[in-house]
Structure 1
Amino acid sequence: MGQKGCLLIHGFTGGAYEVNPLARYLREHTDWIVSVPVLPGHGRKLNLRETTAAEWISFAEEELKRLWLYCDEVFVIGFSMGGLIAAYLAIHYPVSKLVLLSTAALYVNTKQIAKDINMLFKDVWSKKLNENEWFGHYKYKLIHTPVRAMREFRKIAKATVPLLSQVTIPTFIAQGEMDGIVPPRAARFVYDRIGTYEKKLYLSKTSKHLICYGADSEALFGEIAFFLSQTEHPDEG
């Protein structure tokens, strides 16, 4: 058995923290080399004014190639925009298996955002605003995300979504049904378009967009580890 590697790619305006809980789980439960790079301009402090979609994809490609220096087999996991980049890598490189988390094939779940905003106003009324994790997280992103960067993100979506039928490797698709950023129907949208018959759809009833922090994340991580560890993949709906 050769060395296995796993590349985890975070989302737009995000950073390694978005997928770190899953990375930790994989490191604890496997002997794989787990890589969690931070895309140019991303991380805890955003600097997205000069970075481009081409740079993000190129950076992910280089990280994938670097893993192959040490590994005989590589899996790719992508979160949100990272899911689109992961799919791109799976189409263009000999990746063994693909995991797509909250993949941004469809963008903005307005109903859930309305619920989150309503909760935000309730917190304002009860003077718990500083305790509202959602507010702090998205306030920073809104301030530090230029319109130009949004256009770069959309370039990736526009280029990658039509190619999903070219994904021919085993694929695990997970989505939170409470996601306020990517509509939950995006998971079925991706599932229906992925070209492989070896695919699994996992829906979390309680998770929001940051699915690696959901209440059922341990169960999700176990499912992902099992999926990636399997040597054969029965067709699943």
Structure 2
Amino acid sequence: MPVLPGAEPYRHEGGEVGVLLCHGFTGSPQSLRPWAEHLAERGLTVSLPLLPGHGTRWQDMQLTGWQDWYAEVDRELRELIARCSTVFVFGLSMGGALTLRLAARHGDAVAGIVLVNPANKLHGAGAHALPVARHFIRSRPGIASDIAKPGVQEVGYDRVPLRAAYSLRNLLRLVDGELPQVTQPLLLLHSPQDHTVPPVDSARILSRVSSTEVKEILLEQSYHVATLDHDAERIFEESHAFVGRFAPDIGKKGSSAGG
């Protein structure tokens, strides 16, 4: 199945500092592409993978689960660790949950993490019904393009496959239990007006991680997909400054660096 235009993975060979970016549930690399390019233009090595089952058609997600999505970002992280002297992980929404799990499991190999509207729990009656409903209902209306900025669209599915949603529910429960293992410096940016992930999820994450270096920023002008919204430039600039604080090699080129 061909990848949707704009949903392709993105990689850039830069210097000794690497960043892995993790996109959200039913979304694609398109939602993080401007962020990735901003970092690449400043000399960083960047990896923005397409998660399995994403970026094609929603039916393809029925064949995947959180183990597949996590395995993809884990593989990409290991490649960055082998390539770079310092590595950070950034994530949006479910990508934030994947980021937290990578941080919990890889420890000091991850120098810091940046989360944008990270998901911690599936809310509402529908989430409680998923264990049964997934056997009888294939999908429900999609959650893409929660963006305040006029004329901006996210490349994502218009349907949510319930089997995959049930797997996401299991992932979020697992990650919530691992939050105390997260010790890295943390930058968390979230939107008070988010119609997909409520602010309570960010509050829960901040209350449970063990990080001592923590900065929280409110994105007052944006909805859920803030990386494509009015506050996008602020996210890009704050995250680059965050990397500069904790990566002494940010200005150095590696021997294998390309353009």
Q: TM tier, shorter chain?
A: 0.7 to 0.9
Residue 165 (structure 1) shift: 1.3
How many angstroms apart in 1 are the aligned matches of 2:121 and 2:65? 20
Q: Per the alignment, do residues 80 and 222 of structure 1 end up closer, same or farther by CA in structure 2, a change over 3 Å counting?
A: same
Residue aligning to 2:232: 217
Q: Runs (4+) of structure 1 moved beyond 3 Å?
A: 106-110, 131-134
The one of 34, 38, 43 aligned to 2:55: 43
Q: Aligned pair 1:150/2:162, yes or no? A: no
Secondary structure of 1:17 counterpart: helix
Contact 1:14/1:44, CA 8 A, preserved across alignment: no
Matches within 5 A, 1:32-181: 32-46=44-58, 47-93=60-106, 94-107=109-122, 140-142=157-159, 145-181=160-196
Residue 168 (structure 1) shift: 0.4
Secondary structure of 1:180 counterpart: coil
Provide Cα deviations, 1:85-141, integer angstroms capped at 9, x if missing partner.
11111111121111111101134599xxxxx9xxxxxxxxxxxxxx9867x978x43
2:19 is aligned with what amino acid?
C
How many angstroms apart in 1 are the aligned matches of 2:244 and 2:122? 31
1:34 is aligned with what amino acid?
V
Contact 2:94/2:118, CA 8 A, preserved across alignment: yes
Identity among equivalent positions (%) equals 32
Provide Cα deviations, 1:132-189, integer angstroms capped at 9, x if missing partner.
867x978x432xx321110111111010012111100101111111110000232222
How many angstroms apart in 2 are the aligned matches of 1:229 and 1:137? 30
More helix by share: 1
Residue 204 (structure 1) shift: 0.7
2:44 is aligned with what amino acid?
W
Provide Cα deviations, 1:196-223, integer angstroms capped at 9, x if missing partner.
1111111111110101012121122111
How many angstroms apart in 2 are the aligned matches of 1:109 and 1:25? 36
Secondary structure of 2:195 counterpart: coil
How many angstroms apart in 2 are the aligned matches of 1:133 and 1:229? 30
How many angstroms apart in 1 are the aligned matches of 2:49 and 2:192? 27
How many angstroms apart in 2 are the aligned matches of 1:69 and 1:14? 28
How many angstroms apart in 1 are the aligned matches of 2:33 and 2:20? 12
Secondary structure of 1:64 counterpart: helix
Contact 1:107/1:181, CA 8 A, preserved across alignment: no
Pairwise CA RMSD of aligned residues? 2.4
TM-score by length of 2: 0.74
How many angstroms apart in 2 are the aligned matches of 1:221 and 1:109? 32
TM-score by length of 1: 0.80
Q: Pick 1 or 2: higher relative contact order, CA cutoff 8 A, min separation 6.
A: 2
How many angstroms apart in 1 are the aligned matches of 2:124 and 2:244? 33
Residue aligning to 1:119: none
How many angstroms apart in 1 are the aligned matches of 2:95 and 2:193? 19
